[in-house]
Structure 1
Amino acid sequence: MLNKIMMTGRITTDLTVVTEDNYSFCKFSIAVDQPKRIGIDTVETDTFTCIAFDDNAKSVNFLYSKGVQITFVGSLRKAPDNTVVIIVEELHFQNRFAVKVDVDSGQLF
């Protein structure tokens, strides 16, 4: 079975990393525009809840902020309240160069 999704949207919530037991996570929402339709001037927006864990959580918190566009690959999971959340598995950058960041020290390589 395949459970992969790629999303690009704007972050709509403030980002914070929460540490519980032996793992860290960052829960946030993104707004994604629906495709434009012929003859309709307004664009509908969907909002999705996302969770990044451990190093991905630190990277999201360090590199992004509310209102900034983010692109990632993840998987859909059912939450305890019967809603769906997207688990962030890979972050993708839309620039032309690769940057490696040590999220603990903030140092760029």
Structure 2
Amino acid sequence: MLNKVMMSGRLLTELAVTIKDDLKYCIFSIAVEQTKRKGVDAVKTDTFTCIAFDDNASAVSFLYFKGGTITFVGSLRNAYDNTAVLIVEELHFKNKFDVKVDVNSDQIF
């Protein structure tokens, strides 16, 4: 079975890495615009909850910010409360101006 999604949207939440029981993760929400239909001026958005683990969690919290655009490939899973959650597996960069970079850091992405 194939379970892959690609999303691109605006970050709705502040990003922070959480470490619990040796598990590092970052939970965030994104707003994704629906496809604009002919004759309709208003574009609606859908909101999704996403989780990045380990190195992806570190990269998301370091490189992105609330209000910025993120693009990733991941998979769709059920959460404990039967809601859909997107698991971030790969980060994709459109251009170097969409991310924040700390030039004084020794961290390389």
TM-score above 0.5, yes or no: yes
Q: Distance in 1 between the 2:27 and 2:21 partners?
A: 16
The aligned runs of 1:19-98 (5 Å cut-off) are 19-95=19-95
Q: Where does the alignment leave 5 or more consecutive residues of structure 2 unmatched?
A: none
Pairwise CA RMSD of aligned residues? 1.6
Q: Distance in 1 between the 2:88 and 2:80 partners?
A: 18
Quote the offset at 1:107 in angstroms.
3.3
Q: Residues 106 and 71 (structure 1 numbering): CA distance in 2 closer, same or farther, change over 3 Å?
A: farther
Q: Distance in 2 between the 1:95 and 1:68 partners?
A: 12
Q: Distance in 2 between the 1:15 and 1:107 partners?
A: 17
* Partner SS state of residue 14, structure 1: coil
- State the identity as a percent: 67
Quote the offset at 1:21 in angstroms.
1.2
TM-score (norm 2): 0.88
Q: Distance in 1 between the 2:57 and 2:46 partners?
A: 22
Quote the offset at 1:49 in angstroms.
0.2
Q: Distance in 1 between the 2:13 and 2:56 partners?
A: 17
In structure 2, what residue type is equivalent to 1:72? F
In structure 2, what residue type is equivalent to 1:60? V
Quote the offset at 1:22 in angstroms.
1.4
In structure 1, what residue type is equivalent to 2:87? I
Deviations 1:8-64 (A, max 9, x none): 000000111000111100000000000001010000000000000000000000000
Q: Distance in 2 between the 1:106 and 1:85 partners?
A: 32
What is the aligned residue count? 102
**Cross-structure match for 1:15:** 15
TM-score (norm 1): 0.88
